[in-house]
Amino acid sequence: MADLSDIRSETQDAPNTPDAQAPAPAPGMVVVWRAIFVGILLLFVVLLAWRLWDTNRSEHRASGMAPPFTFTTFEGETISLDDLQGQGVVVNFWASWCDPCRDEAALLEQAWRREKDNGIVFIGLDYLDQEPAAKAYLAEFGITYPNGPDLRSEAARRYGIKGVPETFFINSAGEIAQTVIGPIVNEAQMESYLAEIRP
Amino acid sequence: MIFHIGYLILVTATVLAAFGMIAGFVGGRQRNVKLTLSSYHAVYAMAGLVALAAAILWYALLTDRFEVAYVWNHSERALPVFYKFSALWGGQAGSLLFWLLILSGFSVAAAFFNRRRHWAIMPYVNAVMLGTSLFFAVLLVFAANPFELASFVPQDGMGLNPLLQNYWMVLHPVMLYIGYVGLAVPFAFAVGALLSKRLDNQWVRTVRRWTLIPWMFLSAGILMGSQWAYMELGWGGYWAWDPVENASFLPWLTATAFLHSIVVQEQRGILKVWNAALIWMTYFLVILGTFTTRSGVLESVHSFARSDVGPFFLVFMVIILFGFLWLLFKRLPLLRDEQAIESYTSREAAFMANNWLFAGIAFATLWGTFFPMFSEILTGDRISVAAPFFNKVNGPLFLLLILLMGAAPLLGWRRTSRQAFRKQFTWPLLVGAVTGVAIWLLYDAGYPAIGLAACAFAAATIVQEYVRGVQARRITSGESVPAAMGNLWRRNGRRYGGYLVHLGIVLIAAAVIGNEFFQQNTNVTLANGESVTLGRYEIAYTGLEPNRKVNHVEYGARLMIFDQESGKTLGSILPRRNIYDKTPEQPTSEVGLRMTLIEDTYVVLNGWETGGSTATFTMYINPLTAWMWIGGLVLVLGTLIASWPHPGRRRSEAADSVAYAVGSAGD
């Protein structure tokens, strides 16, 4: 506390000399710097606008060409949709907390065991879940096809899912041939969709 | 009928805000007393209209008027009254109305407390506040009408999102909103000062408390949000660098920098442009944060359902960004620094470093938050930067910040003499070093040793300052220790309250370090009666207890905790899972928690089989977490002391001017 008075007098004594030690930079440079600064801000806003437009456009559930995605399975294997070109792909969004998902879990696994040698790949993407619970779910139904968490819901957003389960049937050309909202109810329904994507 | 009136009120409010805004700008420019008074009246009337609209929506929520789409979507008959009340800010349209309500409150406060001061600035302040209100009113009228009616009268509502049915979740958005919205006031003052060319220290002095109070709410809101994530989301952590968390953290960073750098302007007449730019960035980040959470441009667990508000926000952001920048460029010649920084060992140099660090953290966080968006646009691939990026970049910056926080109060203005160095730094450095070595020897861990050493150093400087302050008072006036402490706070709240805020931050930092480096966890499935060992504990599962509540069933798994060495019973915990009637596919987990000052035992119930004969748990030991919440309380207390007005203020104007801490000498 002893130094209070010193500081006060210092502040008062300090000469009030505007820009004594800060020479103004050349006017040309100032304009350039301002332009750069404004340009960066402008770019940011434009990117935001672009992104907003893009988001609103992708509001709807994916159709046509299947949006690409890459994920890492619970076993640590990385799988990319691009690598599966030429095969039929069934992408199933599920979660351990989702009761309707349980209705189709066994059916999916059976279909996979039957079809894996016919050029059809099943992929399970775990939507908004906790890993232990998800693993318990997979173990409960003895699911063996590649499954992994949909981190940050990236694939879910791209496919525009509205809930789980949703299943996308993608043909060997990479087009979405069928979309199923809610669980797949029976063998016949599954078979009719698989027929569309069998290469 | 009444809901049509509600909508009409919003339309009226929009027109009124537009009128008031113009009255303020023109009145300020032409120094027209009538128009200036009009802008005041518009602020008051606006608040009345908005309050009325909010009251109508509350009435609809509390009386279950499901013909209103908002009520139908965000409430239900069985919802407890408290949550019906809080459903006002549970959804998009309602929360925008709530924003506007708080904004009106702040506008009234700013107008009322300054009705006889700052005559040149105030019309512009009113205009900027009303301009912001106008924006939100336009949103409500054109893009998100809370009074929109459903085409039929539904029998019951769809229910509030279960994740939101939690006290913390109800409170933390309120805190955040108050903090967020309140930061419009200092921005309005900055615009007012620039427009009126009253660029001396006056606006800076006034604005300090108007920044400090929202800052306190923002801090509390962020911490309560962490607490909610910790208690409710059940992943053992409190902060995930999620875009929405970052959205609240970004303005906090720039506002904190602003609170510090205005002290330098007040003392030394420098950093004027920087201060104006900082409050502008803060306000922009507030609007940007509100935009990102509501437009779906960033992916987050927090996002509101999408609606049409995005383009409106974009336009508003463009106005804020370029309007202010244009004004700032125009006024640059009036904002020359009065002096230069003389020495690196001066307090103003330390403040500068503090500002650079805050700006660096803010930039890194902004970059990380928006990087996925940029990468997707540029490369087509969405590359997310996860927590490790933020931790790696921001961790060291925060470490430097804590060191600086310890050192800065010990430095003098302009320069620090060698003698002063020795006198000030010996003890704190010693305490820091001893702590660091002790932790290094005990746990053989380098990073936490450095981090906790920095925390100990910063804490020691604060203690040293308090001890010296109390001693000085005891010598001069012979007071007892508590009385001396009280007088320090009362007479120099800015300084000593500020130290308390710093202490709060140190405690929070210690908790973060403890969690980051010493957390232990395990996943187990336990049969009834079985137990598991984790850390110093043995934890046994003793059965599942279902419990019927109003709108959900609560399943609790009873666990007993024993001390592993002595076998003594330490207590029991009850992690729960709530299955809601309306949304059974979205259960919420209620963490089982045993909190001690040393560490938390934190258990999540993941699932169970056959009525609870076995259950699966994730268990964590989280060291020092309790200090995060204690630190939060200390921080709030410190801010209150630092901003408390006291009658002796005018007399101690001189003492104020040397006070280190950030408080207000506004009146």
Mean pLDDT score of chain A, rounded to an integer? 79
CB–CB of B628/B525 below 8 Å?
no
Per-residue HEC secondary structure of B335-349 comes to: HCCCCCCCCCCCHHH
Residue A17 lies in a domain: no
Number of domains making up chain A: 2
A33 plus A88 within the same structural domain: no
Angstrom distance (rounded) from CA B657 to CA B660: 8
A111 plus A53 within the same structural domain: no
Residue A7 lies in a domain: no
Tell whether A151 is within 8 A of chain B (Cβ): yes
Residues of B in contact with A19 (CB under 8 A): 336-337
DSSP 3-state of B563: strand
A45 plus A118 within the same structural domain: no
Residue A6 lies in a domain: no
Angstrom distance (rounded) from CA B244 to CA A152: 13
Angstrom distance (rounded) from CA B133 to CA B101: 9
For the stretch B613-636, pLDDT in tens is 888 898 999 999 999 999 999 999
Angstrom distance (rounded) from CA B201 to CA B217: 25
- Give the pLDDT score at B646: 66
Tell whether B311 is within 8 A of chain A (Cβ): yes
A 124-143: CB under 8 A from B: 128, 130, 132-133, 136
Average pLDDT across each block of 10 residues of chain B; the chain has 667 residues. List them in order.
Answer: 91 96 93 92 96 94 88 84 86 90 96 88 94 95 88 74 73 90 95 90 87 94 88 80 87 94 86 91 93 70 59 91 92 81 80 91 90 74 74 89 88 79 85 91 86 93 91 86 87 89 94 89 88 89 86 88 88 88 75 89 86 87 92 93 70 38 37
Angstrom distance (rounded) from CA B489 to CA B648: 12
Would you tell me how many other CB atoms lie within 10 Å of the CB of residue B649? 19
B513-533 in b/e form (b: 16+ CB < 10 A) is: bbbebbbeeebbbbebeebbe
How many Cα neighbours within 13 Å face the side chain of A13? Answer: 7
Would you tell me how many other CB atoms lie within 10 Å of the CB of residue A186? 10
Q: Which residue, B405, B633, B640, is CA-closest to B502? A: B405
- Contact call for B325 and A41, based on CB within 8 A: yes
Residue B435, token pair as written in the block: 């702590």
Residues of B in contact with A51 (CB under 8 A): 297, 373, 376-377
Q: What are phi and psi of B604, to 5 degrees?
A: -110, 135
Average of per-residue pLDDT across A23-37: 76
Closest CA–CA distance from residue A147 to any residue of chain B (Å): 19
A90 plus A129 within the same structural domain: yes
Residues of A in contact with B235 (CB under 8 A): 130
pLDDT at A10 over 80: no
What domain range includes position A164?
A: 70-197
Number of residues written out for chain A: 199
How many Cα neighbours within 13 Å face the side chain of A127? Answer: 25
H or E, element range at B409: none
**Residue A51: which of B235, B301, B377 has the nearest Cβ?**
B377
H or E, element range at A60: none
Closest CA–CA distance from residue B585 to any residue of chain A (Å): 5
CB–CB of B36/B122 below 8 Å?
yes
How many Cα neighbours within 13 Å face the side chain of B297? Answer: 29
Confidence of residue A143 (pLDDT cuts 50, 70, 90): very high
Residue A51 lies in a domain: yes
Tell whether A12 is within 8 A of chain B (Cβ): no
Most confident of A78-92, A127-141, B296-310: A78-92
- Give the pLDDT score at A60: 63
**Residue B297: which of A2, A34, A55 has the nearest Cβ?**
A55
Q: Which residue, B611, B620, B607, is CA-closest to B543? A: B611
**Residue A133: which of B373, B374, B607 has the nearest Cβ?**
B607
Nearest CA in chain B to A102: B585
Angstrom distance (rounded) from CA A150 to CA A71: 7
Angstrom distance (rounded) from CA B598 to CA B111: 47
Residue B598, token pair as written in the block: 């040393």
CB–CB of B61/B80 below 8 Å?
no
CB–CB of B321/B284 below 8 Å?
yes
Average of per-residue pLDDT across A179-195: 85
Number of residues written out for chain B: 667
Report the amino acid identity of residue B487. Answer: N
A114 plus A169 within the same structural domain: yes
A52 plus A94 within the same structural domain: no
Angstrom distance (rounded) from CA B180 to CA B531: 47
DSSP 3-state of A86: coil
A49 plus A92 within the same structural domain: no
Q: Which residues are B572's β-sheet partners?
A: B560
A169 plus A111 within the same structural domain: yes
- Contact call for B606 and A8, based on CB within 8 A: no
A86 plus A170 within the same structural domain: yes
* Cα diameter, chain B: 81
Q: What are phi and psi of B577, to 5 degrees?
A: -130, 130
A167 plus A92 within the same structural domain: yes
Report the amino acid identity of residue B572. Answer: S
A79 plus A160 within the same structural domain: yes
- Give the pLDDT score at B651: 40
Q: Which of A15, A34, A57 is the last residue of a domain?
A: A57
- Give the pLDDT score at B476: 86
- Burial class for B565, CB neighbours closer than 10 Å (0-12, 13-18, 19+): exposed
- Give the pLDDT score at A4: 37
Q: State the ipTM, two decimals.
A: 0.73
Q: What are phi and psi of B451, to 5 degrees?
A: -60, -50
Tell whether B525 is within 8 A of chain A (Cβ): yes
Scanning the structure block, which residue is given the tokens 């009146």? B667
A 91-110: CB under 8 A from B: 96-100
Q: Can you point out the beta strands (E) in B518-575?
A: 520-527, 531-534, 537-548, 552-563, 569-573
Nearest CA in chain A to B654: A8
pLDDT at A11 over 70: no
Scanning the structure block, which residue is given the tokens 């809901």? B3
- Give the pLDDT score at B257: 94
**Residue B657: which of A11, A16, A51 has the nearest Cβ?**
A11
Residues of B in contact with A157 (CB under 8 A): 299
A74 plus A53 within the same structural domain: no
Residue A133 lies in a domain: yes
Residue B187, token pair as written in the block: 């921005």
Q: Which residues are B622's β-sheet partners?
A: B600
Average of per-residue pLDDT across A124-138: 85
Peptide bond connecting A165 to the previous residue in cis, omega within 30 degrees of 0: yes
CATH assignment of the domain containing A127: 3.40.30.10
- Contact call for A41 and B657, based on CB within 8 A: no
Query: pLDDT above 90 covers what percent of chain A?
Result: 17
